[in-house]
Structure 1
């Protein structure tokens, strides 16, 4: 069977789009076909107002082993443009995950290695099994990160710790990443997908307009001077106040009922 990205709408959470990395026998190793499918799936999610959240997970209780070393060896014998095109396509998928206006949750069982780790970091939130492992494994085989792995770690962690993880290329327990604030929730093995779906369903009842604007503000915050960010907050607040979601949310709060966002 070939590597593919499966898209589904589970009956227990129909407002959630579930994207499943599937590459049987290869621990869901990545392939450019997955990247292309991921980009299309997220474009669909943006247009479909019935989709309120996205969950990214792996098949067979394993998240993703990263790049396929056999394919990399084959590409080494080809023109460098072949590998460049593959990495650029992965980058497009990473950007699509980061710019998605809806909450994106990674559900990690087993391990997330190499670009698989990068994919998890590209998501807004991470749910991981207690026994899950994460590893930026590139340096172990003489390679350097792709998929934004070095950028995400440098953003999330002190420089020294990010450098240690990238240079040593050793597995890191989900528990340690949870303590560092990289993983949001730890769960019993086998429960990551169900927990992520329940969380996605909960978030799916929130304001789509507010969530999209909050994601925009958070993405910009690290690069902006405070004065610029305060101006952006003002503009987003005023636009949100004028949006129908705020009218519903305020009325629901005052009437002591759950809001019904469309």
Structure 2
């Protein structure tokens, strides 16, 4: 997922705010929630390629992705408090888990931008590149993942996401069941064969 133009996304259109009815706003946020839930449920790894600003719900859209690749000039902002709103699009869920509650509250309360470099240091951003390399490097990563054992990636994603609400016993049992299933996949057999034959595996996602 990437932005067109000068930024990943500058956030909501402030000029149009205050004009929608309560019902329209409720429906609008509901549609955004469906998008976030679809990203979470997808078994395909989703990459956010961020340049320029990622503000408001745009910041949260990036957080909802599995990996974030950003340009070294990128800026992120939870800008909601500037217009008397709270975070939507899952920010209240994602951000505290990634940076801790105190920094999350600071970013929510202040609405001040935080640089891509700082988020990279915090482990929120996975890869940071000069702007002129961002698209090329993002595409390389996407191709690499697409050629990998995608069924295994999907299961890894589910387990990691579930780990925030599950007990250790539950995760261990899910790993045991899932590993038993994965051992019969074509990708696992191909990976073993490629290792024995000292060649690069050709995964198919099956």
Q: Specify the SS of the correspondent of 1:215.
A: helix
SS in 2 for 1:106: strand
Q: TM-score, normalised by structure 2?
A: 0.96
Give the whole-Å Cα distance in 2 for the aligned partners of 1:92 and 1:249: 35
How far apart, CA to CA, are the structure 1 residues paired with 2:196 and 2:78? Answer: 48
1:128, 1:192 within 8 Å by CA — same for their partners in 2?
yes
CA distance in 2, matches of 1:190, 1:147: 29
Counterpart of 2:122? Answer: 180
Which string of whole-angstrom CA distances, capped at 9 and with x for unpartnered residues, describes residues 94-139 of structure 1?
1111111111110011010000000000000001111100000000
> Taking CA–CA contacts closer than 8 Å with sequence separation of 6 or more, which of the two structures ends up with the larger relative contact order?
2
Give the Cα–Cα distance (whole angstroms) in 2 for the partners of residues 100 and 70 of structure 1.
Answer: 34
Alignment partner of 1:203 out of 124, 132, 145 = 145
Instruction: Give the distance between the partners of 2:152 and 2:170, measured in 1 at CA.
Output: 19
Q: Secondary structure at the match of 1:112?
A: strand
Aligned to 2:198: 256
2:2 is paired with a residue whose SS is strand
User: Who is 2:172 aligned against?
Assistant: 230
Find the counterpart in structure 1 of residue 13 from structure 2. Answer: 68
Query: Going by fraction, where is strand more abundant, 1 or 2?
Result: 1
**Coordinate RMSD, CA, aligned:** 1.0
**Deviation per CA, 1:3-62, whole angstroms, max 9, x where unpaired?**
xxxxxxxxxxxxxxxxxxxxxxxxxxxxxxxxxxxxxxxxxxxxxxxxxxxxx0001241
1:202-259: per-residue Cα shift (whole Å, max 9, x none)? Answer: 1111111111110111110111110110000001101100111111111111111111
Structure 2 residues without counterparts, runs of 5 or longer: none
Indicate yes or no: 2:20 matched with 1:58: no
Partner of 1:136: 78
Distance 1:218 1:249 in 2: 22
Report the alpha carbon displacement of residue 191 of structure 1 after superposing the two structures with TM: 2.5
Q: Return the TM-score normalized by structure 1.
A: 0.76
Match of 1:107 among 49, 52, 60: 49
Q: Does residue 87 of structure 2 align to residue 155 of structure 1?
A: no
Contact 1:61/1:190, CA 8 A, preserved across alignment: no
Please tell me whether residue 216 in structure 1 is matched to residue 161 in structure 2: no
Instruction: Return the alpha-carbon distance in structure 2 between the equivalents of residues 157 and 232 of structure 1.
Output: 27
Does the CA-based 8 Å contact 1:97-1:104 persist in structure 2?
A: yes
Q: Identify the structure with the greater helix proportion.
A: 2
| CA shift in 2, pair 1:226/1:72, >3 Å | same
Pick aligned residue for 2:189 from 237, 247, 251: 247
CA contact (8 A) 1:126 1:183 kept: yes
Shift >6 Å, 4+ stretches = none
